[in-house]
């Protein structure tokens, strides 16, 4: 796999285009699952324009091609091993910036627990009204969440071993 190289600005936004989670990461490479970015331990990110939030563990982020989700894979000992955000398909604005709309639903697997859980359904329902999500966006988000629940629960890749190799490049 290639060494870490280019810096990439990652910008999650809400449906009204307001800035949500945002961070700077390093491009690790690309495989059949998508583009992989990573950061070493003791990295920071921001929620909106707020202060830096420190993350003591390394993690990698997968941006799959043309899918309605992104996936974060955290190094141990972080209790959340996999955290998938349901989003619009990631849009590469340039080689150094990627953005997507966070659609509230998240699929999470805790370390040592085989079954994933779906969270933030209440926020998804509330934001459908607040932001006026179109029916096709609601359907795509729900479909992506159910697909991720099955894939992670069934031990499909890249949710089992593939991400572990990418983590070795940032730990």
Q: HEC string of the chain?
A: CCCCCCEEEEEEECCCCCEEEEEEEEEEEEECCEEEEEECCCEEEEECCCCEEEECCCEEEEECCCCCEEEEEECCCCCEEEEEEEECCCEEEECCEEEEEEEEEEEEEECCCCCCEEECHHHHHHHHHHCCCCHHHHHHHHHHHHHHHHHHHCCCCCCCCHHHHHHCCCC
Is 50 inside any structural domain? yes
Answer whether residue 73 shows pLDDT above 50: yes
Confidence of residue 6 (pLDDT cuts 50, 70, 90): confident
Kindly state whether residue 134 falls inside one of the protein's structural domains. Answer: yes
Q: Which domain holds residue 92?
A: 7-167
pLDDT number for residue 3: 43
pTM for this prediction: 0.94
Domain assignment of residue 31, yes or no? yes
Residue 47: inside a domain? yes
Count of structural domains within the chain: 1
Residue 109: CATH number of its domain: 2.40.380.10
pLDDT digits (tens, 9 = 90+) for 11-66: 999 999 999 999 999 999 999 999 999 999 999 999 999 999 999 999 999 999 99
């Amino acid at each position: 796999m290639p060494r870490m190289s280019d810096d990439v600005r990652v910008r999650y936004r809400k449906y009204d285009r307001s800035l949500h989670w945002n961070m700077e990461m390093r491009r690790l490479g690309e495989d059949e699952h998508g583009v992989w970015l990573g950061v070493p331990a003791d990295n920071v990110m921001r929620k909106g324009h707020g202060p830096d939030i420190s993350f003591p563990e390394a993690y990698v982020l997968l941006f799959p091609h043309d899918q309605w989700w992104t996936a974060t894979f955290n190094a141990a000992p972080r209790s959340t091993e996999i955290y998938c955000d349901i989003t619009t398909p990631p849009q590469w604005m340039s080689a150094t910036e990627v953005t997507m709309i966070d659609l509230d639903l998240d699929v999470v697997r805790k370390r040592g627990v085989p079954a994933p859980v779906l969270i933030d359904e209440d926020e998804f329902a509330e934001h459908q009204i607040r932001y006026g999500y179109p029916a096709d966006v609601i359907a795509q988000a729900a479909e992506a969440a159910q697909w991720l629940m099955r894939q992670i629960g069934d031990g499909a890749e890249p949710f089992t071993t593939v991400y572990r190799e990418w983590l070795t490049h940032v730990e």
